[in-house]
């Protein structure tokens, strides 16, 4: 090489694990900024964009940030000054990077919405000499509103790069044996910690509008597949699939988690354990929506005992799973 040629980094593989995202703080303006980016994604909201932007900016972004800020304040990690989702995604990145222990592999993390952005992290990896790029969306069950929109943002970034890296995407891992074993182990661990026996385990997944399923989204099938595989290894207590976090007036995948928790005590089911297999990190949807709101609703309806299995977060089983997924897709 010409000695006057500027130094060029090359020969490395970059791995980017990507989660949904989080506001930078519980400040109203940070919450609004985050919601605007999230709810402007046409993969998330599939309605006429002109009409939706009017509704979003005039109504939703005027009133919803205050409600969302209150929920985040309930679960915000004050000492670390970050959301649990950001905290655990950082831990997952750090621990998985340590376990890979290869000089030519650089692992980092990004968020689909908010910070750190996919665009920023891809450019950073490229500058560090990553000629190959492996993308791992932290959504076990593929859906257009989650995994596909991550892919969209990756493609948009690469489209503007003159020297593009090669690309490999890990689209889903809902039936991976290490994933199923990790979930079963986490259920057993929680049952050993509590002093009561669950009558039922609720496997609560994030919902999507039913019309997305009708259009061919495989998410619903992947969720039921995960529950079935857990049940095959943990058959002492029945496991029921439900769907949470619905938004707006249209019909979403059913049964709804909140309605199920309200009705179970009236049907004689008084002791319930919940798990959220579709969430790789605890977040506002698990800690506030399920462990606070869900528990309150269940107890007020006549339930006696309620608890939630933590997400896999940065536990050893999860790090082993991420390590295995990455190693099997390295160039």
Please tell me the total count of domains within the chain: 2
Pick from 109, 116, 157, 117: nearest CA to 136: 109
- What mean pLDDT comes out for the span 208-212? 98
Q: What angle do CA 94, 143, 232 make, to 5 degrees?
A: 80
With a cut of 80, say whether residue 115 has pLDDT above it: yes
Name residue, tokens 């089911």: 269
**Residues 209 and 154 occupy one common structural domain:** no
292 part of a folded domain:
yes
Is residue 46 a part of any domain in this protein?
yes
Question: Are 205 and 277 contacting, i.e. CB atoms less than 8 angstroms apart?
Answer: yes
- How far from the centroid of its chain's Cα atoms is residue 18's Cα? 9
- Is residue 8 pLDDT above 90, yes or no? no
Q: How far is CA 197 from CA 46, 190, 192, in A?
A: 42, 11, 9
Is the Cβ–Cβ distance between 205 and 223 less than 8 Å? yes
Q: What is 155-214 written as a DSSP string?
A: HHHHHT-SSPPEEEE----TT-HHHHHHHHHHHHHHHHHSSS--SEEEEEEE--BHHHHH
Residue 120's contacts (CB-CB under 8 Å, 6 or more residues apart) are 110
Q: Which range of residues forms the domain containing residue 303?
A: 177-308
Same domain, 158 and 183: no
- Classify residue 91 as exposed, middle or buried by CB count within 10 Å of its CB (0-12, 13-18, 19+): middle
Question: Same domain, yes or no, for 71 and 118?
Answer: yes
Q: Are 180 and 321 in contact (CB under 8 A)?
A: no
Q: How far is Cα 153 from Cα 107, in angstroms, rounded to an integer?
A: 18
pLDDT value of residue 89: 98
Identify whether the C-beta of residue 134 lies closer than 8 Å to the C-beta of residue 329. Answer: yes
Looking at the fold, whether 116 and 47 belong to one and the same domain comes out as yes
> Of 275, 319, 306, 90, nearest to 186 (Cα)?
275
Does residue 7 form part of some domain? no
Q: Tell me the whole-structure pTM to 2 decimals.
A: 0.96
For the chain, give the percent of residues with pLDDT over 70: 98
Q: Which letter, b or e, does each residue of 131-165 get, where b requires 16 or more Cβ atoms within 10 Å of its Cβ?
A: bbbbbbbbbbbbbbbbbbbbbbbbeebeeeeeeeb
**Encoding tokens for residue 160?**
């503007």
CATH number, domain with residue 202: 3.40.50.1400
| pLDDT 10s digits, 225-236 | 999 999 999 889
Instruction: Specify if 2 maps to a domain.
Output: no
Query: Residue 7 has what pLDDT?
Result: 74
Q: What is the pLDDT of residues 171-187, one digit of tens each?
A: 999 999 999 999 999 99
- What confidence tens digit (pLDDT) does each residue in 20-37 have? 999 999 999 999 999 999
Q: Are residues 67 and 22 in the same domain?
A: yes
The verdict on 210 and 269 lying in the same domain is yes
Please report which confidence band the pLDDT of residue 4 belongs to, taking 50, 70 and 90 as the band edges: confident
Helices 316-327 and 177-193, packing angle to 10 deg? 180
The residues, ordered by sequence, that sit 6+ positions from 150 with a Cβ below 8 Å of its Cβ are 18, 112, 118, 135, 137, 139
Sign of CA dihedral 96, 98, 103, 109: positive
For tokens 């005027």, name the residue: 62
For the chain, the average pLDDT equals 96
State whether 90 and 213 are in the same domain. no
């Amino acid at each position: 090489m010409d000695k006057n040629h500027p130094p060029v980094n090359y020969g490395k593989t970059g791995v980017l694990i990507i989660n949904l995202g989080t506001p930078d703080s519980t400040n109203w303006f940070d919450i609004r900024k985050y919601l605007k980016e999230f709810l402007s994604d046409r993969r998330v909201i599939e309605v006429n964009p002109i009409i939706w932007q009017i509704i979003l900016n005039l109504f939703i972004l005027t009133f919803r940030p205050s409600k969302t800020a209150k929920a985040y304040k309930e679960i915000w990690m004050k000492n670390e000054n970050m959301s649990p989702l950001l905290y655990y995604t950082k831990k997952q990145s750090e621990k998985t990077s340590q376990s890979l222990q290869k000089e030519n592999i650089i692992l980092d993390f990004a968020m689909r919405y908010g910070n750190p952005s996919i665009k920023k992290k891809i450019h950073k990896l490229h500058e560090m000499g990553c000629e190959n790029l492996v993308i791992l969306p932290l959504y076990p069950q593929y859906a257009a509103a989650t995994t596909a929109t991550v892919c969209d943002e990756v493609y948009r970034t690469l489209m503007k790069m003159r020297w593009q890296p090669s690309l490999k995407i890990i689209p889903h891992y809902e039936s991976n044996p290490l994933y199923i074993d990790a979930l079963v182990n986490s259920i057993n661990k929680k049952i050993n910690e509590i002093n009561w026996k669950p009558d039922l385990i609720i496997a609560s997944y994030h919902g999507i509008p039913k019309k997305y399923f009708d259009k061919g989204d495989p998410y619903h099938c992947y969720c039921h597949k995960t529950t079935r595989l857990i049940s095959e290894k943990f058959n002492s207590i029945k496991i029921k699939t439900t769907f949470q976090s619905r938004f707006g007036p249209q019909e979403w995948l059913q049964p709804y988690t909140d309605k199920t928790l309200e009705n179970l005590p009236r049907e004689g089911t008084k002791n319930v354990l919940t798990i959220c297999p579709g969430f790789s990190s605890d977040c506002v949807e698990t800690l506030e929506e399920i462990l606070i709101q869900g528990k309150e609703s269940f107890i007020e309806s006549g339930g006696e005992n309620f608890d939630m299995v933590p997400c896999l977060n940065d536990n050893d089983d999860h790090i082993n799973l991420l390590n295995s997924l990455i190693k099997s897709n390295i160039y």
